[in-house]
Amino acid sequence: MRARLDLQRRRSTIAATSIAFTLIVGGGRAHAQSAEAEGLFNDGNKLMAEGKLAQACDAFEASNRVEPRAGTLNRLGECHEQNHQLASAWSAYKDALTRAKDPRKREFAAAKATALEARLSYLTVSVSDENRIDGLTLTRDGKSFDPMLWNRALPVDGGDYVIVGHAPGHEEWQTTAHVPIEGAKVSVAVPKLKELIKLTSPATPQPATAQPTTPAVTERTDREAVRSRGMFTTRRRIAIGVAGASVIGLVAGVIFGESSKGKQDDAFKRCPDPATPCTQADQANALIKSSHSRSLEANVAFGIAAAAAIGAGVLWFTGAPDAENPRRVSVVPSVAPGETGVVVMGRF
């Protein structure tokens, strides 16, 4: 009889524990959940039971997007943890901690986040001041890597990360960083990108031809006629106009650059720590996106200013009033992804 009572007590204890665990991770709900979120949550549970962890995590994430809940985030954290994505699991538990109103869910999320924090792996992308050239941008796995995240140890899931560096007029740089699943600290140092050297082919020598003999009086007359036209030839007048366009482009670049910096500063005032959940994340992301657009506009304006300055210099020096060595010059704008310039062709 006593043995039978002990067995019943054990069964009651197991049942109570199971019910409590279900309530903590989100199986029980104090309020009604939307049909879409509930369906995705149930799909995640089924996929997780079948061992299809990647698909299960996607289902939990979709359910949380439809209707964010602490229980769903706790379940998402468990899914990522079983799939060996420790940083993603830790982030999900931290998000659950900020949303949980039920003390049991909050305690569960806090305990899980604390336990995982000591096991996280970190990746640091370092860019020294000497290597931070104008227009430098980085991507991580094809996604823009914000400068505010440079030189910071960021928690990441284990795996391979492709880091790529771009800058106008410089060679692209790329490397792959392998991060172990647990307890690693990996650092990648971005070198100074190599500047592209534009090579020009040497002029082809022309065969010597006999020059007709011209009376000295005619040569002097031609030189005096050239001098009488003055130093401001048509080409040099054009050069002055092109130089003015260069100044306008430079001013526009400075204005766009200052606007980009201001938007970036506003974004990080709203969300100063990327590892901490932020209620103004959407606004901060919109400001960062707008900042990137303004930065691109500034780079284009500076490129146009530089191209115009080069063109003005070429036009000025090739427009000298010299009748003995006529110059034939063509200045053609050249625009390519990430850079703007001019191509000068002709005889000097």
Same domain, 330 and 231: yes
* Neighbouring-strand partners of residue 177: 161
Range of the domain at 109: 21-117
**pLDDT category, 7, cuts 50, 70, 90?**
very low
User: Is 159 in a helix, a strand, or coil?
Assistant: strand
Q: What percent of the chain has pLDDT over 90?
A: 44
Q: DSSP letters along 171-225, please?
A: --EEEEEEE-SSS-EEEEEPPPPPBP----PPPPPPPP-PPPP--HHHHHHHHHH
Gap between the Cα atoms of 129 and 166, Å rounded = 16
Same domain, 65 and 181: no
**Would residue 294 count as lying in a domain?**
yes
Domain boundary among 71, 93, 117: 117
pLDDT in tens, 31-68: 456 899 999 999 999 999 999 999 999 999 999 999 99
The count of structural domains within the chain is 3
**pLDDT category, 339, cuts 50, 70, 90?**
low
Higher pLDDT, 341 or 185: 185
What per-residue confidence (pLDDT) applies to 224?
57
The mean pLDDT of 86-105, rounded to a whole number, is: 93
Q: Which of 111-125, 219-233, 263-277, 282-296 has the lowest mean pLDDT?
A: 219-233
Sheet holding 153-156, edge to edge: 153-156, 121-126, 185-189
Gap between the Cα atoms of 290 and 286, Å rounded = 6
Q: Does pLDDT of 140 surpass 60?
A: yes
Gap between the Cα atoms of 7 and 2, Å rounded = 9
What per-residue confidence (pLDDT) applies to 240?
84
